[in-house]
Amino acid sequence: MSAGGEAMRAGETASTRVFLTVAASAVFISVLTATMINVLIPLIRAQFDASAAQVGWVVTGYALAYAIGVPLYGRISDFFGVRRVFSVGLIGFAAGGLICAFAPSLTVLVLGRIVQGIGGAAIPALAIVSVAKVLPAGERGAGMGVIGSSLGVAAAVGPVAGGVVGQLFGWRALFVGTLALTLILIPFARRVLPNGGSGDERRFDLIGGLLLGLAAGLFLFGITQGQGAGFGSISSWGCFLGAAISASLFVWRINGVQHPFVSPKLFRNRAYVAAILVGFFAMLANLSTLVLTPLLLIEVNGLSAGAAGLVLTPGAVALALLSPMSGRLSDRIGVRIPILAGVTVMALSMLFISTFAAGAAAVVVSFGVLGLTVGMAFVQSPLANAAAGALPDEEVGGGMGIFQGLLFLGGGAGPALAGAFLATREETGSGAINPLYTLDAAPFSDAFLAMVLALLIALIAALGLRGSVEGSNQSREEET
């Protein structure tokens, strides 16, 4: 290679690194904020003298705005460009943080969290979309791995940092700190992120997008209502019915207009649908475990909340370290093998927790969770790579937005469903469903066993993935 060619390649590599640094930093800040705020809820509740249900809206309001926004931002970026939409999202996230930092009441704080969620939804959705649009197929997995690593680091650091910040400076300092970090990031995002939207606003199907967002929001709100009032309540079932109607109208809409929100061919793309199913059920099982495990350790093992969090730390660290490696591996050997191996390890680890860890020493629980998270590390980045590789160029934004949105819904639905199942098993007081279980926490064993079924569905769906993302344009055209 000539000196000029080497210099050009070095410049491209440096540019890619800066781009990935900005995207990963944005994801880190958004996830850090979410994980930090959860441990500070008791401080917020005490300051505003609020009930548990009232202060719960600090989390719920953010989650609902997030659920509606995530599937929309990807498609919006197809028309207006990733750089512009991502920057608007960062500004919204910062504005919400500013409102939260100086909120005089719980109502204003919840409003700020909703604004923050509307803006923050753009960050993970468009970080993945930008990687899919900027990097070629042979390098895309490594980029997805960097994003996944930042998520793992933020998940590990967030609870610890949140506890320290809350004790030393109060909960408002959290929003001031993330506000400052976001403002620093905005000019870099404006500089390095890709642009190039179509600019044709008339072809953007706003009604289709709103129907999709409404379906996602109602589904998650139904889950939230189910947690509080029970899944048999009118409010919960009413939300699920509304979500089903909205989803049906969305399908009718994209099949009946000239320029739909996304092409209906997207959902006849077997590899893309397989990626969605794997992601939904893998995320459902993973997030359920991360919620059930602290409950197990506190209620059965008698640990403090801080000690229970430390049990999860090795898994978060493993996710951060292994995600870049699994992404690069999917570039070299294809996406199917890492995903199949990862889901298998997740299922075996979940079975181990159900059989040997529920009610055992904390170190045994930590070992089981570590295995589950190692498996997730080999699913997360290759799966995003698989979904992006299955999409035609003009559908990458919308397709990846829907993909990310359904992963978020899986993560939101899982803990609520697992918690409801756990409560039911505790009420019955019967023995464990798992015939190999011999300890004294049968309801938890049953809840973890139920997650094995979700992972078996993910494993079956993974068989529909393509082996490689290279040269996928031709096979996409053949399928659609």
Q: How far is CA 30 from CA 170, 201, 291, 350, in A?
A: 19, 28, 19, 28
Confidence of residue 155 (pLDDT cuts 50, 70, 90): confident
Confidence of residue 8 (pLDDT cuts 50, 70, 90): very low
CA distance 338 to 335: 6
Which one-letter amino acid corresponds to residue 65? Answer: A
CA distance 280 to 457: 10
Position 9 scores a pLDDT of 42
Residues 87-115 have a mean pLDDT of: 92
- pLDDT exceeds cutoff 80 at 16: no
CA distance 170 to 166: 4
DSSP one-letter code for 164: H
Confidence of residue 13 (pLDDT cuts 50, 70, 90): low
CB 444 within 8 A of CB 433: no
- pLDDT exceeds cutoff 50 at 233: yes
- pLDDT exceeds cutoff 60 at 71: yes
Query: What's the whole-number average pLDDT of the chain?
Result: 83
DSSP one-letter code for 390: T
Q: How far is CA 98 from CA 30, 163, 378, in A?
A: 14, 20, 37
Q: What percent of the chain has pLDDT over 70?
A: 91
Tokens of 1: 């290679």
Position 472 scores a pLDDT of 45
Residue 242 burial by Cβ neighbours in a 10 Å radius (0-12, 13-18, 19+): middle
- pLDDT exceeds cutoff 80 at 242: yes
Confidence of residue 197 (pLDDT cuts 50, 70, 90): low
- In 3-state terms, what secondary structure has residue 278? helix
Confidence of residue 477 (pLDDT cuts 50, 70, 90): very low
- pLDDT exceeds cutoff 80 at 305: no
Residues 6-13 have a mean pLDDT of: 43
pTM for the structure as a whole: 0.82
- pLDDT exceeds cutoff 70 at 152: yes
Q: Tell me if 16-192 shares its fold with 269-467.
A: yes
CB 213 within 8 A of CB 68: yes
- pLDDT exceeds cutoff 70 at 198: no
CA distance 307 to 298: 9
Confidence of residue 399 (pLDDT cuts 50, 70, 90): confident
- pLDDT exceeds cutoff 60 at 315: yes
Position 431 scores a pLDDT of 84
Residues 143-149 have a mean pLDDT of: 83
Residues 285-307 have a mean pLDDT of: 84
Domain ranges of the chain: 16-192, 205-260, 269-467
CB 407 within 8 A of CB 280: yes
Which one-letter amino acid corresponds to residue 361? Answer: A
Position 149 scores a pLDDT of 81
Higher-confidence residue of 454 and 164: namely: 454
DSSP 72-135: HHHHHHHHH-HHHHHHHHHHHHHHHHHHHHT-SSHHHHHHHHHHHHHHHTHHHHHHHHHHHHHS
- How far is the first Cα of the chain from the last one, in angstroms, to the nearest whole number? 40
Higher-confidence residue of 428 and 197: namely: 428
Residues 92-106 have a mean pLDDT of: 92
CA distance 474 to 452: 36
- pLDDT exceeds cutoff 80 at 451: yes
Position 120 scores a pLDDT of 87
CA distance 416 to 408: 13
Pick one of 1.20.1250.20, 3.10.450.50, 3.30.70.100, 3.20.20.10 as the CATH number of 269-467: 1.20.1250.20
- 243-247, 403-407, 468-472: segment of lowest average pLDDT: 468-472
CA distance 130 to 196: 11
pLDDT, tens digit, 9 for 90 and up, residues 401-427: 888 888 888 887 888 888 888 888 888
CB 48 within 8 A of CB 55: yes
Q: Does domain 16-192 have CATH number 3.40.50.2300?
A: no
Residues 462-479 have a mean pLDDT of: 59
Position 357 scores a pLDDT of 94
Report the candidate in 480, 413, 393 with the shortest Cα–Cα distance to residue 194. 393
- In 3-state terms, what secondary structure has residue 256? coil
Position 338 scores a pLDDT of 94
The secondary structure of 429-451, three-state, reads CCCCCCCCCCCCCHHHHHHHHHH
CB 112 within 8 A of CB 57: no
CA distance 416 to 228: 10
- 160-174, 320-334, 361-375: segment of lowest average pLDDT: 160-174
